[in-house]
Amino acid sequence: MPADGGPNDGRSHCRGEAMTATTVQPSESSESETLVLARRATDRAVRHLLSRQDEQGWWKGDLETNVTMDAEDLMLRHFLGIQNPDVLDAAGRYIRSQQAADGTWATFHGGPPELSATVEAYVALRLAGDPPDAPHMAAASAWVRNNGGVASSRVFTRIWLALFGWWRWEDLPELPPEIIYFPPWLPLNLYDFGCWARQTIVPLTVVSAKRPVRPAPFSLDELHADPRRPNPPRPAAPLASWDGAFQRLDRALHLYRKVALRPLRRAALRSCARWIVERQENDGCWGGIQPPAVYSVIALHLLGYDLDHPVMRAGLESLDRFAVWREDGSRMIEACQSPVWDTCLAVIALADAGLAPDHPALVKSADWMLAEEIDRPGDWSVKRPRLAPGGWAFEFDNDNYPDIDDTAEVILALRRVDHPRPERIAAAVRRGVRWTLGMQSRNGAWGAFDVDNTSPLPNRLPFCDFGEVIDPPSADVTAHVVEMLAHEGGARDPRTRRAVGWLLAEQEPSGAWFGRWGTNYVYGTGSVVPALVAAGLPATHPAIRRAVRWLESVQNEDGGWGEDQRSYPDPEWIGHGASTASQTAWALLALLAAGERESKAVERGVGWLAATQDQDGSWDEPYFTGTGFPWDFSINYHLYRLVFPLTALGRYVSGEATGARPRRT
């Protein structure tokens, strides 16, 4: 096991901290010189990645998001009365370390100040003992006041404040627990929401119904733009608009609360509790992600589950496993953990870099992935009741929600391994392919977790201002499935051809594809081009040529590629940002697949990777290149900086455009 693990369960120890960059510099070199640099960089990266494998066979890098995870963890512990001084101190250290010079907090590295994150971080530091007149606190509160105060923060932030009496429950959107009884055909039923939103909304209906208040240890007058009117009314939207219609619906729900039949309300709360408990994973978490776990613990506590109840004990213990303890004594909370995703990407990277298919590290990782296959129905079966289970989830424990993206990449990884029992690989792949095909949406594409999860209504709810709450098909997920199906011999299958047609129709006029789960058009394009080539499109196809021209047009002067999170709301940022290792690799993967190995753009990109590699074989990447919700929730996957550059370098060195498996000597 790597030596940089923290005092947790051993799952969160892959850090990927940067070391001093190598002194090798790119030059106007011949291809052979570039190839020599690429081979050296590949060898270093292979050695480093192998050193990071857990003894059980998996890889996992830190999954870094923003300080709202840490702030809400502290508020939860204060609400439940289980605050630990060591945790409080360590969390405070981390939150302070992320504060900008102007007193604010952003939601991604180098990003602009964000109001809700700043409010929540400020409250958490108050709970940690920081006085409001301390310079860093005064700067934060002044900025909050000047930007609308608490009243302008998101609904979720104000829910947390309402738990302590810092905001009035009456001034929050109403979410009745009776929604649990809506049948799947009724608009705004639970299965109209994406799985991450569904798991959050059910417990929040309990919280909304109970409206608990724990006495606040201090006031927050300093966070209100006008302390005399801390809860100013929001302006009414035009009745003829969607926002206006849903505002009126929310008013009706507030009235319903006053007249709701008590027996029906009690029954709905019991049904919500049963729904929550049934979806608790074996390790105590919910869906393998932190936010639903936090709200589920609060909801069950409000419904009478004491802290010693087995469900509660397991839930609280699972939350501790989201903590990453750092060498400086600080403590960061991961919103999620990504071992299956990281492991399959690591296997692909190592195999494409030429590691022998029967190498013990690959065999061990294949055994671990095989053991992670999901063999029981989950919430996806509401839409596909006759579909047999199969596939893989993203996390250590998340049997309710396997996802299509992980399943496609795990299959691609397993096929790269020469396993001593090939029949095990073949059987798992067969089940995974069958399940994936069964999850195809009507338009021929794939979402991440559900089928045809495209209703426009959930995003309109006043309650849902925290990011994307539906799971429509996306180009990146669909591309990974197409690539997998092509490698499985299904390039000519009508279902694959429909998906290829959908991808071609989704190409932007610029030649790029939108990236739903990675940032952003560089990720989408880097995913789609290799898939289209694997599915049989020639490199001369007009769509491929447009993509190549776009990638060449957005290459940075230093030879790398980068794209900022601001490309989601602001078209001026599309394809623009500081060069990063992962985004440079995505661009290279597309260009190599398009037959551009001899191009100047590829040579410069490979040269940039070789020149910026750290001495340990990895790359430094503080920028966030992963996406949870476009713009609203950004992710820095700490292993992306290693696995994707290694994949790209390996394919460049081998000359195989879409992933060869030559043996390493």
Q: How far apart are the first and last CA of the chain?
A: 25
pLDDT tens digit sequence for 255-280: 999 999 999 999 999 999 999 999 99
Residue 306: what residue type? D
Per-residue tokens: 657: 């455009």
Rg of the chain over Cα atoms, rounded to whole angstroms, equals: 25
In this prediction, residue 20 carries a pLDDT of: 33
Burial of 252 (0-12, 13-18, 19+ CB in 10 A): exposed
Query: Is the distance from CB of 11 to CB of 321 less than 8 angstroms?
Result: yes
Residues 6 or more apart whose CB falls under 8 angstroms from that of 426 comprise none
In degrees rounded to 5, what are phi and psi of residue 660?
Answer: -85, 170
Q: pLDDT band for position 245 (50/70/90)?
A: confident
CA distance 111 to 133: 26
Domain locations along the chain: 31-64+444-454+475-654, 68-222+237-333
Q: pLDDT band for position 6 (50/70/90)?
A: very low
Question: Is 90 exceeded by the pLDDT of residue 405?
Answer: yes
Mean pLDDT, all residues of the chain:
92
Mean pLDDT computed over 478-491:
97
CA distance 155 to 223: 16
CATH class, domain 31-64+444-454+475-654, is: mainly alpha
In degrees rounded to 5, what are phi and psi of residue 289?
Answer: -130, 150
Question: Is 70 exceeded by the pLDDT of residue 31?
Answer: no
Q: Which of 226-230, 254-258, 544-548 has the lowest mean pLDDT?
A: 226-230
Other Cβ atoms less than 10 A from the Cβ of 214: the count is: 13
Residue 236: what residue type? A
- Indicate the helix (H) or strand (E) that contains 626: strand 626-629
Catalytic residue among 342, 405, 406, 616: 405
Per-residue tokens: 376: 């029981």
The DSSP secondary structure of 411-447, one letter per residue, reads HHHHTT---S-HHHHHHHHHHHHHHHHHT--TTS---
**Three-state DSSP class for 361?**
helix
Mean pLDDT computed over 526-553:
98
Q: Which CATH number fits domain 68-222+237-333: 1.50.10.20, 3.30.450.20, 1.10.340.30, 1.20.1730.10?
A: 1.50.10.20
Query: Is the distance from CB of 486 to CB of 535 less than 8 angstroms?
Result: yes
Mean pLDDT computed over 568-579:
98
Indicate the Cα dihedral angle 47, 48, 49, 51, nearest 10°.
Answer: 90
Per-residue tokens: 260: 């709701």
Other Cβ atoms less than 10 A from the Cβ of 102: the count is: 11
Mean pLDDT computed over 236-264:
86
Predicted model pTM = 0.92
Alpha helices, DSSP H only, in 60-134?
A: 68-80, 85-97, 115-127
Length of the chain: 665
pLDDT tens digit sequence for 40-59: 999 999 999 999 999 999 99
Q: Any catalytic annotation for residue 283?
A: no
CA distance 479 to 482: 5
Per-residue tokens: 456: 């426009």
Domains 31-64+444-454+475-654 and 68-222+237-333 alike in fold: yes
In this prediction, residue 13 carries a pLDDT of: 33
In this prediction, residue 24 carries a pLDDT of: 39
In degrees rounded to 5, what are phi and psi of residue 516?
Answer: -80, -45
